[in-house]
Amino acid sequence: MELLQACLRQGTSPYRTIAFARRFLTENGFEEIKVDESFSGCDSGRYFTMPFPDVLFAFCAGSARKSRMPLRMAFAHVDQPGFKLKGQPDFKSMGCAMLNVEIYGGMVDHTWFDRPLGLSGTVALRGENAFSPIFRYYSSKRPVAVIPGLAIHMNREMNQGWKINRQKELMPLVGLAGGHWTDENFLHFLAGELQVEDSEILSWDLNLYNYDEPVIFGLEKDMLCSPRLDNLVSVAALLESLLEGERDRGINLIGLFNHEEVGSLTRSGADSILLHEILCRILEGAGCSQDMVRTSLAAGTFLSVDGAHAAHPNYPDCADPTSRAYLGQGCVIKVNGSQKYASDYRMTAILKGLAEKYDIPVQEINDNNNILGGRTLGPMIGAGLAMTGCDLGVPMLSMHSARETMCLQDYESLCQIITAYFVEPD
């Protein structure tokens, strides 16, 4: 659980999550391959590569060789719904200094009121020439903003429900707009944080995040409530499982993508050519011929690992009447006949077989016909690679809230089934 809690605390932006994964892999003997270098010689051992600062692939290659290198892969995303800072964020209202933000992903708006918000991401600084900017990771490591809610005295009907005006009501307060305030107030603050001149800052990709700490709770201390469970739980599970799972023959690989919450059709999203290109380079670097590359890809399988909706104790009718997931009863295989998930009968059978062999609690879930869950990386990866796969994850409550809730036992189940998937012989 230490790795999970560290990931939740430190993964405050996609860049910080990838940096966390990079440190973890390096500390555990993985060698980094620069994406603009040759992958030649990766015929055995542990490696990782970062094509962009917000995406990472790590793999373990077995030493045995046959006519192909069977691929077993698992993928997760590193982004969460939240707030992105706009390019000219400063404005003032009623004597207060405010930030103009845009909404990223499908978040539960009202849960973000009155939360301490930190600032995290990456900043581009002026370099030696226009094509060589300097990139700096940044984290405020303290709260810098709050989105103040309206007192009930000002809206007596708020508990009856109201539509939140995102441009008006979800603007963060960062202090007082005193005599030194200008419309470059934030730029000056950020320059001070980075210890550079204002003019050195060219652009940024910064997000506000919930500064709340993860909290273990419950009479038996078996529950976890935290920001960013979706989907850093899966990120931590993939890192743990890859470390534990190795085979003599074949390649185990994990991929951490950005932009799942906004559709994945980006250069570092799963719905791009990136994964196929990286896999081909890995297989060729391991000494595979073009024919071996094709046969290895054709024989590969994958897991799309993302949060699942648990049956809610206060809203039981939201779950399917028979195929529902309960907290504390294991990780969840997600199935959908309309192909919103990648799970097919073959991979479902394989995971159930592994669960039976290693005594791992696993559940299976379908959506309520009237309430459809979200989409995942699974179908787009399966379509791009023409490969069989399965969607699975930890059941949780309040998904896409500023804080989400899960059972710790289900995280253990997820790690166990992914590790079994990686280590089981062909």
pLDDT for 182 equals 86
C-alpha span between 204 and 191 (Å, rounded):
12
pLDDT for 250 equals 87
Same domain membership, residue 185 and residue 231? no
Is residue 216 a part of any domain in this protein? no
For the chain, the domain total comes to 2
Is residue 219 a part of any domain in this protein? no
Where residue 375 sits, what CATH number does that domain have?
3.40.630.10
Same domain membership, residue 245 and residue 185? no
Each residue's pLDDT tens digit, 85-113: 999 999 999 999 999 999 999 999 999 99
Which one-letter DSSP state was computed for residue 310? P
Residue with tokens 């001149």: 197
Residues in the chain: 426
Q: At a CB cut-off of 8 Å and minimum separation 6, what does 256 contact?
A: 17, 18, 21, 55, 56, 57, 75, 76, 77, 78, 235, 238
SS3 315: coil
Same domain membership, residue 350 and residue 235? yes
Q: Which domain holds residue 274?
A: 2-77+227-423
List, for the chain, all residue ranges whose pLDDT scores fall below the cut of 50: none
Same domain membership, residue 371 and residue 255? yes
pTM: 0.95
pLDDT for 44 equals 81
pLDDT for 67 equals 60
Residue with tokens 């600032």: 119
pLDDT for 65 equals 61
Same domain membership, residue 400 and residue 253? yes
In 10 A of CB 47, how many CB atoms? 21
Is residue 220 a part of any domain in this protein? no
pLDDT for 289 equals 86
Is residue 401 a part of any domain in this protein? yes
Two structure tokens written together for 377: 């990386």
C-alpha span between 112 and 402 (Å, rounded):
6
Where residue 197 sits, what CATH number does that domain have?
2.30.250.10
